[in-house]
């Protein structure tokens, strides 16, 4: 359950940004690559547990999964890789370069402004 | 309510430590591999045999990651190779900060290669860069031939796949293990992956892995010369 460490780092990042604006965070949107294998339920569970009694308590997480991309060595197309059937979406060739997985990113936070 | 765009990498602290580790290793001309597998696939046995048989050629140091105990470090210590044990106290993977600490405990000037044995787990360790030059995934035949299909991330990210315990292929449950299926599934995600079929217990197939490892270290050293 590596979601625990992701949750700890996420909590720190949200707290830092919210503190800059001196406001209470209410929601956060994050994105992550497929190969990070982040499970939404586990991440929310871990985040809720460590956010208790902190300014991040009750923060709603929106998690966007970004598919890892491949570049076809036959037709040069860049495409979303379906891990259960890895092949070029355009020409169906199986020879492709797997591109780096999109990183875990805190995209946006929503603050309560009094 | 106000929405603020951030665009900040969540694991930036781990990434910073990983970069520092990578820099420290490369400045010293050291190579580092991160071994990842399920518990019980034979990572420590592979290390013990590899260290023993390559002792004259490559100076290998080991960082052992386990939830608790120093059982693995003791096994490595018996080979006389330098080893540092990390206990994660429940953590299911190593992080780069832990490795940064462990690297300080190794006699770097005597080493060519640092092998990190990650916590036994086929999922979590693959999400955390440690500053290594490559990942080695180990799969033992007793685990079943569907693992690259079920756990694609680690097979997609690894330089080497060691299929271990091939001495069991003629025995009991492992008889049904389809090596070709494993190789095909792993290569569909990762064309460059090098695959060696080994038994760290009997020594079968180990020479291919040793040749690859020796070449890997020699290439680095000749780049620096």
Tokens describing residue A8: 């700890």
A31 reaches B (C-beta below 8 A): no
In a domain, B223, yes or no: no
Phi, psi at residue B52, to the nearest 5°?
A: -60, -45
Choose among A4, A83, A107: nearest Cβ to B5: A107
Q: What angle do CA B91, B93, B94 make, to 5 degrees?
A: 100
Alpha-carbon distance of B20 to A113, in angstroms, equals: 39
Would B225 be classed as within a structural domain? no
**B70 vs B87: CA distance, rounded Å:** 8
Residue count of chain A: 114
* Domain membership flag for residue B94: yes
- Is B93's CB within 8 Å of A5's CB? yes
Within-domain flag for B2: no
Residue B133 within a domain: yes
Provide the number of structural domains found in chain A.
1
Q: What is the pLDDT of residue B70?
A: 93
What pLDDT is stored for residue B173 in this prediction? 74
Kindly state the percentage of chain A with pLDDT values over 90: 93
Any domain includes B1: no
N-term to C-term CA, chain B: 60
What is the Cα–Cα distance from B163 to B76, expressed in whole angstroms? 21
* Contact with chain B for residue A105, Cβ under 8 A: yes
Q: What's the domain count of chain B? A: 1
* Partner-chain contact B127 A26, CB within 8 Å: no
Distance from the Cα of B185 to chain A's closest Cα (Å) equals 9
Please state, as a whole number, how many other Cβ atoms lie within 10 Å of the Cβ of residue B193.
19
Q: Do A110 and B157 touch (CB under 8 A)?
A: no
Which CATH number do you get for residue A91?
3.30.2320.80
For A3-39, write each residue's pLDDT tens digit. Answer: 999 999 999 999 999 999 999 999 999 999 999 989 9
Q: Is B18 helix (H, G, I), strand (E, B) or coil?
A: helix
Q: Are B164 and B42 in contact (CB under 8 A)?
A: yes
| Residues of chain B falling short of pLDDT 70 | 225
Domain of B43, CATH number, reads 3.40.50.300
C-alpha A68/C-alpha B153 separation (Å) is: 10
Q: Is the pLDDT of residue A114 over 70?
A: no
* The pLDDT of residue B133: 97
DSSP letter at B32? E
**What does chain B come to in residues?**
225
Q: Which residue of B has its CA nearest to A94?
A: B188
The parent domain of residue B182 ranges over 12-217
Q: Where are the alpha helices (DSSP H) in chain A?
A: 3-20, 40-51
Question: Could you say which residues from 148 to 187 on chain B have a Cβ atom under 8 Å away from some Cβ of chain A?
Answer: 149, 152-153, 156-157
| Cross-chain Cβ contact B7/A107 below 8 Å | yes
Asked if B8 has any chain A CB less than 8 Å from its own CB, the reply is yes
Domain of A72 in residue numbering reads as 3-112
């Amino acid at each position: 359950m590596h979601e625990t460490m992701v949750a700890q780092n996420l909590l720190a990042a949200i707290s830092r940004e919210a503190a800059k604006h001196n406001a209470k965070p209410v929601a956060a949107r994050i994105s992550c690559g497929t190969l990070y294998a982040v499970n939404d339920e586990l991440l929310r569970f871990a985040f809720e547990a460590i956010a208790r009694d902190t300014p991040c308590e009750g923060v709603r997480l929106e998690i966007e999964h970004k598919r890892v991309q491949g570049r076809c060595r036959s037709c040069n197309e860049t495409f979303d890789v379906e891990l259960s059937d890895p092949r070029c979406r355009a020409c169906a060739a199986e020879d492709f370069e797997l591109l780096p997985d999109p990183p875990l990113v805190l995209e946006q936070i929503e603050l309560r402004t009094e | 309510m106000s929405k603020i765009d951030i665009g900040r990498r969540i694991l930036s602290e781990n990434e910073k430590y990983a970069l520092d580790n990578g820099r420290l290793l490369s400045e010293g001309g050291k190579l580092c591999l991160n071994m990842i597998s399920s518990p019980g696939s034979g990572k420590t046995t592979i290390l013990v045999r590899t260290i023993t048989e390559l002792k004259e050629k490559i100076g290998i140091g080991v960082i052992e990651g386990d939830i608790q105990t120093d059982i693995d470090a003791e096994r490595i210590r018996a080979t006389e190779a330098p080893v540092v044990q990390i206990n994660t106290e429940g953590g299911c993977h190593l992080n780069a900060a832990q490795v940064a600490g462990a690297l300080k405990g190794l006699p770097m000037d005597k080493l060519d290669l640092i092998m990190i044995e990650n916590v036994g787990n086929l999922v979590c360790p693959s999400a955390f860069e440690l500053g290594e030059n490559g990942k080695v995934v180990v799969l033992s035949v007793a685990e079943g031939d569907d693992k690259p299909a079920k756990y694609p991330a680690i097979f997609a990210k690894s330089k080497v796949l060691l299929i271990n315990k091939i001495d069991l292929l003629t025995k009991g449950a492992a008889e049904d293990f389809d090596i070709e299926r494993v190789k095909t599934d792993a290569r569909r995600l990762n064309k460059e992956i090098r695959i060696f079929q080994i038994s760290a217990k009997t020594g079968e197939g180990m020479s291919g892995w040793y040749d690859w490892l020796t070449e890997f270290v020699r290439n680095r050293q000749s780049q620096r010369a």
